[in-house]
Structure 1
Amino acid sequence: MSPASPARPEILVVPFFGQGHLLPCMELCKHIAARNLRATLVISSNLSSSVPSSLRHHHPLLQIAELPYSPIPPAEPGFDPMEAHWAHHFQMASGLEDMLAPQPEGPTPVGPVCAVLDVMMGWTDEIFDKYQIPTVLFFTSGACSSAMELAVRKAEVKDLKPGETYQLPGLPEDMALTASDLKRRPQTHAAAPPQWWQQRASESGIWTPRPIARLLHTCAELEGVFLDYLARRSRRRSSKPVWGVGPLLPEQYWKSAGSLLHDREIRSNRQSSVNEDEVIQWLDSKPRGSVLYVSFGSEVGPTAEEYPQLAAALEASARPFVWAIQYGAGRSPDSESDRGYFPHGLDKKAGERGLIIHGWAPQLLILSHPSTGGFLSHCGWNSTVEAIGRGVPFLTWPIRGDQYHNAKFVVDYLKIGHPVSEDMSRDVTRDDIGNGIERLMTDEGARERAARIRTTFERGFPASSVAALDEFTNFIVSKTAAPS
């Protein structure tokens, strides 16, 4: 770091745990550092291996602060493993306190001008408030999901009859609620914070935060109408600015339109049953637009009962497919075994028609390959924008949270996909999946619309987000500058 760099204003970025949160926060740090501000990514030390070594050398103004992490001791019988996950929050809170507290000896360092908090870490706002550090709330999901969440909460829609719709005020007609939109599977305990954490988070302000601004992982070119809705709501309630500063995808993503994108050059390689060269060779052997890519998130996926249904549907289909299966997929939260589901025998039954990847899959490579013609996805926001930017239509299978709104955005607003089932309150069946695959892979209209939307991303990182990041950093510097 250059001698002059410590004098530059510093912005802390505090991600939530999980790749879907960590990846956009790392990219946000790069954009902040590129604007001559110090950007510090604050992570728990156990996440260090998830941060590529290239990030540490990306820019002299970008640094990583690791907070101490102590593994939770082996639990007693009956202990819920999710308790350890959420207890990790309080370890991080203690680490933040130690990092921010003035040292008893030596000169008082110049503190950060603000902290950008992942919305799931919004409960740490009280810690930063204690040290008079302004906070900015960062939504790692899209504007549509945030707008829908606000609108649905305000409307208090409880039930709709089949064929009945409810138009949400201020949002496009295409986003009117239907009976199927209200049918969601019950949230499992593993997907939800325990009650004690929810109470602490509520007391700390995650539901009523005190941010001076809000950032979203999207752009006006893609979600302008929803960003406008959120901005109007913010003006009425608090007059705090709302900016779309994404999609926060790797720099190589924006420079590789029309060519293959190699994950190994961007993200830390993880354990996998295949390498990228094998994936390319297999995809090269398939006709253009013929392959269905099947992948769920690193933390969510179908139930243990649904995985065999998916395997049966892929076996029965005539379509070529790539199926990426995470280690531990389909494992019950109460299971003591780390072993998850794997479709043993499907590789032989499908033959050259199928490629099954156990572990990490080079998703950016697969989505950018011309043979890929469809994406069966849980609709996590990172996966959603990665596929939209490469013109790949969807078969949507949301599991929880914002994924339902992302799926509706893809299906009803962009019209570049189909739902795997109209009733997501029950288990998805082999017939649901098989019929959905055929609807998707034969829908030329969805493919053409996806190709048109792709052109927006081919121009490079969105101009609206470049302007928004400039406005945001200028706002922070002016808002926190000492009076003359």
Structure 2
Amino acid sequence: MATKDDEQPPVHILFFPFPAPGHLIPIADMATLFAARGARCTILTTPVNAEIIRPAVDRANATNADLHAMVVDISVVPFPDVGLPPGVENGPGLTGQADVDKFFRAIELLREPFHQFLADHPVDAVVADSQFSWSVDAAAEHGVPRIAFLGTSMFARACTDTMLRKNPMMEASPDQDDPDAMLLLPGLPHPVELRRSQMPDPRKEPEVLAFFKVMYQEDRRSYGEVFNSFHELEPEYVQHYQDTLGRRVWLVGPVARPDKDARSRASNTNNALSPDADGCLRWLDGKPAGSVVYVSFGTLSNFSPDELRQVARGLDLSARYFLWVIGTGAITNAAPSSEWMPEGFTELLARGERGLVVRGWAPQVLILNHPALGGFVTHCGWNSVLEAVSAGVPMVTWPRYGDQFFNEKLVVEILKVAASVGAKDYASPVETHQLIDAEVIAESIGRVMDDGGDAIRSNAKELGVKARRALENGGSSYGDVGRLMEELMARRR
């Protein structure tokens, strides 16, 4: 006999991602994860951003359909007309401050289609990006709980929370103008110190501090927060968030996992992939296990020609096979090879024997999970960090801005799965960064891939096993997904 619960329609969750690849992609992966567990999931976004996530959603939907699970819907709304060029609907397409200002005006104008969707479609919860701070009240007007998602680590969120509440950067001290002065972030489970130069200076950009204060205030008013992380990765910060800060959290990651049949379709399911993307997987097939260092700095990090030259020289000096994915950043793309390739580097790339350079997007999850991978030089964006952790690959860290210096602290000092190149300066993607010498880059690669890096590699492999178990039946993230769905169903009743 059917019970009352059996007669209930499935929990319906609306996912509302911020229009930037680093936010869109984990939200899409998260939606497919919840759908596989029986939730009805809809992603609300604009046309260009829908096309970024559609291949991954279609692939997951095909798998879910075979398993008679729920599929994910993508609901497309027009991108507000704010004077941006046609097709520019996310962060990587912005070319200057004027574009950035227009873009954030568009973010405000997305409130209306968000309202309209909730008016037309009853949902049980909204998982909205923290940068849509207005979505708390907008969802409340329709009686819908808003769950915040920012796409970073719990450690970084806790560090930022401390910075906003205690504000050590503004404390008067004799060394307040010394960029190398070390500042302690108080009240955290671990002693965390950063240089002044590694944190945003509220005296120079007060509007940035004001923005984050509003965002964090609205997140505290939310029903709770969902993280692309897992309990075993940062257990002290789960407890800190719940007990010290009194916040409700669910950890459901790692949401990006290597697709069993994605390799055969990696080159033709996503228009943003480089034409060389599938070729790089075949190139890795010819290399010994653990012999290749992978270099990628995400979609927004820009490197000057001088920086690129030092990276190239460092890879040469490392005496390792290397796969270097040069992203879609404006400065990077504007620099022709002749401006930054050092003498002899072309010969390293000849016939692809020693190294391979790929411009554009590449299937990073598949690359990191390839047996040939031995190390990953990364900017410490959380998606990249978690993908490396899940694959059990040790990292060489090179943070630039945002939460990246916090993430470096987590993986280098607490988890001990990485070595740092020693980056000291926090600067936006379009600002000039301090030059890191090639010799330092090569030495850092050696620290994770040579014999002296046994402990780092062992820690990374152990953490990778825990990451994979977290999403299995009985794992911590599997449990949090189920608990959130049960709580939303109970709230409906």
Q: In the aligned structure 1, how far is the partner of 2:292 from the partner of 2:166?
A: 41
Q: Deviations over 1:230-272 (max 9, x none)?
A: 111343xxxx52111111124x45x79xxx9667199635241
Residue 446 (structure 1) aligned to one of 452, 456, 462: 456
Match runs of 1:58-137 below 5 Å? 58=64, 59-60=69-70, 62-70=72-80, 72-73=82-83, 80-101=98-119, 111-137=122-148
Corresponding residue for residue 347 of structure 2: 348
Q: Would you say the 8 A contact 1:125–1:205 is kept in 2?
A: no
Instruction: Using the TM superposition, give the Cα deviation of residue 71 of structure 1 relative to its aligned residue in structure 2, in angstroms.
Output: 5.2
Q: TM-score, normalised by structure 1?
A: 0.81
Q: 1:60 Cα shift?
A: 4.2
Change (3 A) 1:143 1:203: closer
TM-score (normalised: structure 2): 0.79
Contact 2:417 2:457 in 1 (8 A): yes
Could you tell me how far apart the structure 2 residues matched to 1:181 and 1:327 are?
29
Task: Measure, in 2, the Cα distance between the counterparts of 1:385 and 1:437.
Answer: 19
In the alignment, does 2:478 pair up with 1:466? yes
Q: 1:140, 1:267 → 2: CA distance? A: 24
Q: Which residue is 1:274 aligned to?
A: 276
Distance in 1 between residues matched to 2:74 and 2:56, nearest whole Å? 12
- Secondary structure in structure 1 of the residue aligned to 2:131: helix
Of 140-149 and 300-309, deviating more is 300-309
1:112 corresponds to which letter in structure 2? V
Deviation by residue 1:118-150 (Cα, 9 ceiling, x = unmatched): 222233222222333221112311211112222
Matched residue SS, 1:300: coil
Report the CA distance shift for 1:267/1:379 in structure 2 as closer, same or farther (over 3 A): farther
Alpha-carbon distance in 2 for matches of 1:427, 1:33: 45
**Equivalent residue in structure 1 for 2:251, among 244, 251, 271:** 244
Question: For the structure 1 residues 78 and 385, does the alpha-carbon distance in structure 2 shift closer, same or farther, using more than 3 Å as the test?
Answer: closer
Query: Matched residue pairs, number?
Result: 446
Q: CA separation of 1:248/1:458 partners in 2, compared to 1, >3 Å: closer, same or farther?
A: closer
RMSD of the TM alignment (CA)?
Answer: 3.6
- Identity fraction in percent: 26
Structure with the greater relative contact order (CA < 8 A, sep ≥ 6): 1 or 2?
Answer: 1
Deviation at 1:387, TM superposition (A): 0.9
Matched residue type, 1:320: Y
Gaps of 5+ in 1: 102-108, 332-337
Deviations 1:277-334 (A, max 9, x none): x223322333322211100111224345422222232234322111100234535xxx
| Equivalent-residue separation in structure 2 for 1:215 and 1:78 (angstroms) | 32
> How do residues 16-27 of structure 1 correspond to structure 2 at under 5 angstroms?
16-27=18-29
- C-alpha contact (below 8 Å) 1:263/1:362 kept by paired residues: no
Q: What is the CA–CA distance in structure 2 between the aligned matches of 1:79 and 1:214, rounded to whole Å?
A: 30
Q: Distance in 1 between matches of 2:460 and 2:268?
A: 25
Match of 1:437 among 445, 463, 479: 445
Counterpart in the other structure of 2:241: 230
Against the structure 1 CA distance between its residues 81 and 27, is the aligned structure 2 distance closer, same or farther, given a 3 Å change threshold? Answer: same
CA distance in 1, matches of 2:422, 2:211: 36
Give the letter aligned to residue 39 of structure 2. L
Structure 2 unaligned runs (5+)?
1-5, 86-94, 170-174, 427-433
One-letter code of the match for 2:130? V
Contact 1:328 1:340 in 2 (8 A): no
Q: Which moved more, 1:162-171 or 1:402-411?
A: 162-171
What does 1:52-63 align with in structure 2 at a 5 Å threshold?
A: 52-53=54-55, 55-56=57-58, 57=61, 58=64, 59-60=69-70, 62-63=72-73
Q: Deviations over 1:187-229 (max 9, x none)?
A: 89xxx9995x987886687656521121111111222221111
Is 1:183 paired with 2:182?
A: no
How far apart in 1 are the matches of 2:396 and 2:214?
39
1:420-469 alpha-carbon deviations (Å, 9 max, x no partner): 11533533233332332232322222112212222223436251111111
Matched ranges for 1:311-350 at <5 A = 311-330=312-331, 339-340=334-335, 342=337, 343-344=340-341, 346-350=345-349
Query: What is the rounded CA distance, in whole Å, between the counterparts of 1:393 and 1:203 in structure 2?
Result: 36
**Aligned equivalents of 2:236, 2:265: Cα separation in 1:** 32
Q: Residue 177 of structure 1 aligns to which amino acid in structure 2?
A: V
Question: Counterpart of 1:417 in structure 2: which amino acid?
Answer: A
Q: Which residue of 2 aligns with 1:106?
A: none
Q: Which residue of 2 aligns with 1:104?
A: none
Q: Indicate the residue corresponding to 1:14 in structure 2.
A: 16
What is the CA–CA distance in structure 1 between the aligned matches of 2:156 and 2:198, rounded to whole Å? 15
Question: CA, structure 1 residues 281+62, in 2 after alignment: closer, same or farther (shift >3 Å)?
Answer: closer
Counterpart of 1:94 in structure 2: which amino acid?
E
Which 10-residue stretch deviates more, 204-213 or 57-66? 204-213
